[in-house]
Amino acid sequence: MTNKTKIIGIYAMTAVVSALILAVAFWVRGGLIEREKPLAINQGVKKVPVFFPIGADLGATNQSGEKVKLSDLKGKVWVVGEFFAVCPHCALRNGQELRELIDTFSTNPDFHLTCISIDPETDNVERLKEYASVLNADAKNWWFLTTGNTKVAHDYMDGTLKFFSVRERTDKADIESNGRFAHDLGLAVVNRKFEVVGKWPLAEARKADPVLYEKYKQEMYAKIREELAK
């Protein structure tokens, strides 16, 4: 073997090793990025249909202490999301996305917002009343609801409204930063016939991609206007 052939061989081997190192590095980096994604995104395994009838009713108590049922909203167009009072992500979403929704559509008496607690045994009526007061939420068109039973709330949100599954956090530091539950921050639109006609992850899109956020927002607002016009 000539010296020239040896040198070519060494360079070729170096190139192969370098490529392998880069591949491993990108694989590790990809794994780290995946682990750093927000915990509340796509927690479940179900794909949410664009359209489906709500198959069961839910009874709860709102921030005014009134016993209500979701079926009371039949004939209205309403937006529903899940929350719990000490969730920092909910506070941001509710103060931005939901406040803007109510400011935009509140002049229409057929529009309603509904937030269902996924920590209902902690979120009693007094806590909900304080929470709603901070957001200046009027119970006539914006409910904060507690069922009083965690399993009932989770089963309804996951099974009936088809939100991504709620996950209880176990890491103490994670709980202190993000609250007890990782959950779906999406907002679903329900038509006058008690059917879910769309669901949009506005809160996640706002953080991840401003262009996508505007697209989702315009789609959601257009759907609400379409349903209100019917």
| CATH number of the domain enclosing 186 | 3.40.30.10
Map tokens 């979120």 to a residue.
Answer: 123
> Are residue 89 and residue 22 in the same domain, yes or no?
no
Domain count, the chain: 2
- Please report, for the chain, how many H helices and E strands are present, in that order: 8, 10
Q: How far apart are the first and last CA of the chain?
A: 83
Note every long-range contact of 163-168, with CB atoms under 8 Å and residues 24 or more positions apart, other chains counting.
Answer: 163/44, 163/48, 163/82, 163/188, 164/42, 164/43, 164/44, 164/46, 164/48, 165/43, 165/44, 165/45, 165/46, 166/43, 166/82, 166/118, 167/39, 167/43
Nearest C-alpha neighbor of 79 from the set 230, 175, 185, 212: 185
> Are residue 99 and residue 201 in the same domain, yes or no?
yes
Domain range enclosing 152: 52-228
Please tell me the predicted confidence (pLDDT) of residue 67.
Answer: 98
Q: What is the pLDDT along the chain (230 residues), one digit of tens a residue?
A: 544 444 334 334 434 333 433 333 333 333 333 333 343 334 433 444 468 999 999 999 999 999 999 999 999 999 999 998 988 888 888 888 999 999 999 999 999 999 999 999 999 999 999 999 999 999 999 999 999 999 999 999 999 999 999 988 888 887 777 778 878 999 999 999 999 999 999 988 988 999 999 999 999 999 999 999 99
- CB 120, CB 153: distance < 8 Å: yes
> Are residue 32 and residue 56 in the same domain, yes or no?
no
Please tell me the predicted confidence (pLDDT) of residue 10.
Answer: 38
Map tokens 């991504």 to a residue.
Answer: 164
How is residue 111 written in tokens? 């529009």
Please tell me the predicted confidence (pLDDT) of residue 6.
Answer: 41
Q: What pTM, to 2 d.p., does this model score? A: 0.77
